[in-house]
Structure 1
Amino acid sequence: MLVIHGGWSDGQLMLWGEDATRPLTTGSRAAERPHPFAAPAGDLPGLPGSPASAILQLPSTGRGPVPSPETGVETSGRGVKLAPWRVPVLLVPGDAALPALRELAEPSDDWLAAPDLRYLCVLAGYACDLARRGRMLPQLVTEHGVATARWRPVLTGADAATYRDFAEGMPPSVRATGGGVAVTLRNALDALVDSGARSVMPERILHGHRAGPKAPLPDRWIAALTAGDPTLPGAKPAEERELRAALDDWLRAAHEANGPVRVSFRLFEPQPGDDEWGLEFALQSAEDPSLYLPAEEIWAGGRFPGLPARPDETLLAGLGRAVRLFPLLHVALRDQEPGRMAIDTAEAHEFLRHAAPLLQAAGFGVQLPAWAGRKAVGLKLTTRSRKPKGTSTRAAADSGFGLQELVDFRLDLVIGDGVVSAEELAELARLKVPLVRVRGQWVELDDRQLRAALKAVTRRREGELTAGEILQQVVDGGEEDLPLVEVDADGMLGDLLSGQAADRMQPVPTPAAFQGSLRPYQERGLSWLHFLTRLGLGGILADDMGLGKTAQTLSLLLAERATAATDQRMSPTLLICPMSLVSNWQKEAARFAPSIRVYVHHGGSRVRGDDFYDTVDDADLVITTYGTATRDLETLKKVDWGRVVCDEAQAIKNSGTRQAQAVRAVPARTRLALTGTPVENHLAELWSIMDFCNPGMLGPAKRFRRRFQEPIEIHQDEDAAAALKRATGPFVLRRLKTDKTIISDLPEKNEMKVWCTLTAEQATLYQAVVEDMMSEIEGSEGIQRRGNVLAAMTKLKQVCNHPAHLLKDGSRLPARSGKLARLEELAEEIIEDGDKALIFTQYAEWGALLQPYLAAHLDRPVLWLHGGLSKAKRDALVERFQHDDEPMLFLLSLKAAGTGLNLTAANHVVHFDRWWNPAVEDQATDRAFRIGQSRDVQVRKFICTGTLEEKIDAMIERKKALASSVVGTGEDWITDLSTDQLRELFALDPAAVR
Structure 2
Amino acid sequence: MWVLHGVCTAGGRLGFWAEDSRLPARTGARLPARPVPHPFAVTAADLIAARTRADDPDPTTAEPGGPHPDEVVLRLPSVGTGPAASPELVREPVGGGTSGRGALRWREWVVPVVPVDGFPLPGCRLGASGRYLLEILDFGADLVRRGRVVPVVDRTEAATRWRAVLSGVDAARAAALRAGMPPSFRAGGGADLFRVALDAIVDREARKALGELKNSSSHVVDAWVAAAGAGDGRFAAERGAVVELRERLRRWGADGFAEKPVRLCFRLVAPLQGAAHEEGWRLEFLLQAVAEPSVLVPARDVWQRGDAVLRRWVPRPEEVLLADLGRAVRLYPGLDRALAAKRPARLKLDVDGAYDFLSRAALLAQAGFGVLVPSWWRQPRRLGLTLTAAPRGAAGIVATESELGHRAIVDFRWDLSLGDEKLTQAELMSLAKAKAPLVRVRGQWVHVDRKRLAAGMAFLERGAGGEMPAAQVLFQHDREAALPLPLNGVVGRGWLADLLAPDAEHRLEPVPTPPGLTATLRPYQRRGLAWLVFLDRLGLGACLADDMGLGKTVQLLALEAVNRQDGKRPPTLLVCPMSVVGNWRREAEKFVPHLDVHVHHGADRDPVRLLGEHDLVITTYATVTRDAAELAAITWDRVVVDEAQNVKNSATRQARAIRALPARHRIALTGTPVENRLAELWSVLDFVNPGMLGPLTTFRARYGVPIERHRDAEAAVRLRRATGPLVLRRLKSDPRVIGDLPEKIETTQSCTLTAEQASLYQAVVEDMFARISEIQGVKRKGLVLATMTRLKQACNHPAHLLGDGSPVPGRSGKVDRLEEILDEAFADGDKVLCFTQFTAFGSLLVPHLAARFDVDVPFLHGGTSRRDRDAMVRRFQSEDGPGVLLLSLKAGGTGVNLTAANHVVHLDRWWNPAVEDQATDRAFRIGQDRHVQVHKFVCVGTLEERVDRMIEDKRGLSRLAVGAGEDWLTELSTERLREVFALTPEAVGG
Whether TM exceeds 0.5 here: the answer is: yes
Residue in 1 aligned with 2:348?
342
Residue in 2 aligned with 1:393?
397
Percent pairwise identity: 37
Contact 2:266 2:284 in 1 (8 A): yes
Matched, 1:278 2:282: yes
Contact 1:572 1:621 in 2 (8 A): yes
- For residues 181 and 312 of structure 1, the distance between their equivalents in structure 2, rounded to whole angstroms, comes to 28
* Equivalent AA in structure 1 for residue 728 of structure 2: L
* Equivalent AA in structure 2 for residue 719 of structure 1: E
Give the direction of change, closer, same or farther, for the CA distance of 1:181–1:909 in structure 2 (3 Å limit): farther
Residue in 2 aligned with 1:537?
540
Summarize deviations over 1:764-806 as a string: whole Å, max 9, x none. Answer: xxxxxxxxxxxxxxxxxxxxxxx9xx99xx99997xx88xx7x
Residue in 1 aligned with 2:584?
585
Shift of 1:149: 9.8
* Equivalent AA in structure 1 for residue 584 of structure 2: W
Shift of 1:516: 2.8
Matched, 1:888 2:882: no
Give the direction of change, closer, same or farther, for the CA distance of 1:331–1:55 in structure 2 (3 Å limit): same
- For residues 190 and 413 of structure 1, the distance between their equivalents in structure 2, rounded to whole angstroms, comes to 51
Shift of 1:595: 2.6
Within-5 A mapping of 1:138-153: 138-139=150-151
- For residues 513 and 440 of structure 1, the distance between their equivalents in structure 2, rounded to whole angstroms, comes to 59
Equivalent of 2:384, from 358, 369, 378?
Answer: 378
Give the direction of change, closer, same or farther, for the CA distance of 1:523–1:480 in structure 2 (3 Å limit): same
Give the direction of change, closer, same or farther, for the CA distance of 1:293–1:35 in structure 2 (3 Å limit): closer
Equivalent of 1:317, from 317, 320, 337?
Answer: 320
- For residues 453 and 227 of structure 2, the distance between their equivalents in structure 1, rounded to whole angstroms, comes to 40
Equivalent of 2:702, from 694, 704, 707?
Answer: 707
- Larger deviation, residues 160-169 vs 367-376: 160-169
Give the direction of change, closer, same or farther, for the CA distance of 1:673–1:410 in structure 2 (3 Å limit): same
Contact 2:516 2:592 in 1 (8 A): yes
Shift of 1:154: 4.4
2:466 counterpart SS class: strand
- For residues 282 and 266 of structure 1, the distance between their equivalents in structure 2, rounded to whole angstroms, comes to 8
Contact 1:572 1:616 in 2 (8 A): no
- For residues 353 and 370 of structure 1, the distance between their equivalents in structure 2, rounded to whole angstroms, comes to 14
Give the direction of change, closer, same or farther, for the CA distance of 1:221–1:519 in structure 2 (3 Å limit): same
- For residues 167 and 224 of structure 2, the distance between their equivalents in structure 1, rounded to whole angstroms, comes to 25
Residue in 1 aligned with 2:760?
none
Residue in 2 aligned with 1:987?
none
Residue in 2 aligned with 1:503?
506
Give the direction of change, closer, same or farther, for the CA distance of 1:657–1:379 in structure 2 (3 Å limit): same
Give the direction of change, closer, same or farther, for the CA distance of 1:795–1:711 in structure 2 (3 Å limit): closer
- For residues 670 and 436 of structure 1, the distance between their equivalents in structure 2, rounded to whole angstroms, comes to 50
Shift of 1:378: 1.0
Shift of 1:354: 1.8
Matched, 1:368 2:368: no
- For residues 154 and 516 of structure 1, the distance between their equivalents in structure 2, rounded to whole angstroms, comes to 63
Give the direction of change, closer, same or farther, for the CA distance of 1:302–1:840 in structure 2 (3 Å limit): same
Matched, 1:482 2:481: no
Contact 2:144 2:205 in 1 (8 A): no
Residue in 1 aligned with 2:516?
513
Within-5 A mapping of 1:871-886: 873-874=908-909, 881=913
1:381 counterpart SS class: strand
Equivalent of 2:718, from 707, 719, 723?
Answer: 723
Give the direction of change, closer, same or farther, for the CA distance of 1:700–1:887 in structure 2 (3 Å limit): closer
Matched, 1:847 2:888: yes
Shift of 1:492: 2.9
Residue in 2 aligned with 1:573?
574
Within-5 A mapping of 1:642-653: 642-649=637-644
Within-5 A mapping of 1:973-992: none
Contact 2:281 2:349 in 1 (8 A): yes
Give the direction of change, closer, same or farther, for the CA distance of 1:422–1:212 in structure 2 (3 Å limit): farther
- For residues 628 and 195 of structure 2, the distance between their equivalents in structure 1, rounded to whole angstroms, comes to 42
- For residues 819 and 139 of structure 1, the distance between their equivalents in structure 2, rounded to whole angstroms, comes to 50
Give the direction of change, closer, same or farther, for the CA distance of 1:191–1:54 in structure 2 (3 Å limit): closer
2:375 counterpart SS class: coil
- For residues 483 and 659 of structure 1, the distance between their equivalents in structure 2, rounded to whole angstroms, comes to 38
Residue in 1 aligned with 2:85?
none
Shift of 1:441: 3.4
2:594 counterpart SS class: coil
Residue in 1 aligned with 2:267?
266
Give the direction of change, closer, same or farther, for the CA distance of 1:745–1:123 in structure 2 (3 Å limit): same
Residue in 1 aligned with 2:668?
673
Give the direction of change, closer, same or farther, for the CA distance of 1:239–1:738 in structure 2 (3 Å limit): same
Give the direction of change, closer, same or farther, for the CA distance of 1:393–1:426 in structure 2 (3 Å limit): same
Shift of 1:265: 3.3
- For residues 192 and 849 of structure 1, the distance between their equivalents in structure 2, rounded to whole angstroms, comes to 55
Shift of 1:692: 4.2
Residue in 2 aligned with 1:764?
none
Residue in 2 aligned with 1:74?
none
Gaps of 5+ in 2: 1-5, 17-42, 71-90, 97-114, 127-132, 181-192, 745-846, 898-902, 936-990
- For residues 354 and 466 of structure 1, the distance between their equivalents in structure 2, rounded to whole angstroms, comes to 45
Equivalent of 1:558, from 561, 565, 568?
Answer: 561
* TM-score normalised per structure 2: 0.57
* Equivalent AA in structure 2 for residue 136 of structure 1: R
Contact 1:477 1:727 in 2 (8 A): no
Contact 2:263 2:324 in 1 (8 A): no
Contact 2:547 2:730 in 1 (8 A): yes
- For residues 33 and 231 of structure 1, the distance between their equivalents in structure 2, rounded to whole angstroms, comes to 27
Contact 1:573 1:642 in 2 (8 A): no
Shift of 1:462: 3.2
Shift of 1:401: 0.9
- For residues 218 and 539 of structure 1, the distance between their equivalents in structure 2, rounded to whole angstroms, comes to 65
1:553 counterpart SS class: helix
Residue in 2 aligned with 1:108?
none
* Equivalent AA in structure 1 for residue 268 of structure 2: L
Within-5 A mapping of 1:945-964: none
Residue in 1 aligned with 2:360?
354
The structure that has the greater radius of gyration is 2
- For residues 290 and 495 of structure 1, the distance between their equivalents in structure 2, rounded to whole angstroms, comes to 45
* Equivalent AA in structure 1 for residue 561 of structure 2: L
Give the direction of change, closer, same or farther, for the CA distance of 1:153–1:456 in structure 2 (3 Å limit): farther
User: In angstroms, what is the RMSD of aligned CA positions?
Assistant: 6.5
- For residues 123 and 662 of structure 1, the distance between their equivalents in structure 2, rounded to whole angstroms, comes to 43
- For residues 726 and 125 of structure 1, the distance between their equivalents in structure 2, rounded to whole angstroms, comes to 32
Summarize deviations over 1:920-948 as a string: whole Å, max 9, x none. Answer: xx9995549xxxxxxxxxxxxxxxxxxxx
Matched, 1:522 2:563: no
- For residues 148 and 217 of structure 1, the distance between their equivalents in structure 2, rounded to whole angstroms, comes to 11
- For residues 739 and 931 of structure 2, the distance between their equivalents in structure 1, rounded to whole angstroms, comes to 22
Give the direction of change, closer, same or farther, for the CA distance of 1:149–1:39 in structure 2 (3 Å limit): closer
- For residues 170 and 44 of structure 2, the distance between their equivalents in structure 1, rounded to whole angstroms, comes to 45
Residue in 1 aligned with 2:747?
none
Residue in 2 aligned with 1:607?
602
Contact 1:643 1:669 in 2 (8 A): yes
Shift of 1:484: 0.2
Summarize deviations over 1:567-597 as a string: whole Å, max 9, x none. Answer: x3234333448x2x44443443333222334
- For residues 57 and 919 of structure 2, the distance between their equivalents in structure 1, rounded to whole angstroms, comes to 57
* Equivalent AA in structure 1 for residue 151 of structure 2: Q
2:446 counterpart SS class: strand
Contact 1:711 1:720 in 2 (8 A): yes
- For residues 575 and 508 of structure 2, the distance between their equivalents in structure 1, rounded to whole angstroms, comes to 27
Shift of 1:672: 2.9
- For residues 447 and 129 of structure 1, the distance between their equivalents in structure 2, rounded to whole angstroms, comes to 36
- For residues 315 and 689 of structure 1, the distance between their equivalents in structure 2, rounded to whole angstroms, comes to 59
Matched, 1:694 2:689: yes
2:565 counterpart SS class: helix
* TM-score normalised per structure 1: 0.57
Contact 1:841 1:847 in 2 (8 A): no
Give the direction of change, closer, same or farther, for the CA distance of 1:270–1:687 in structure 2 (3 Å limit): farther
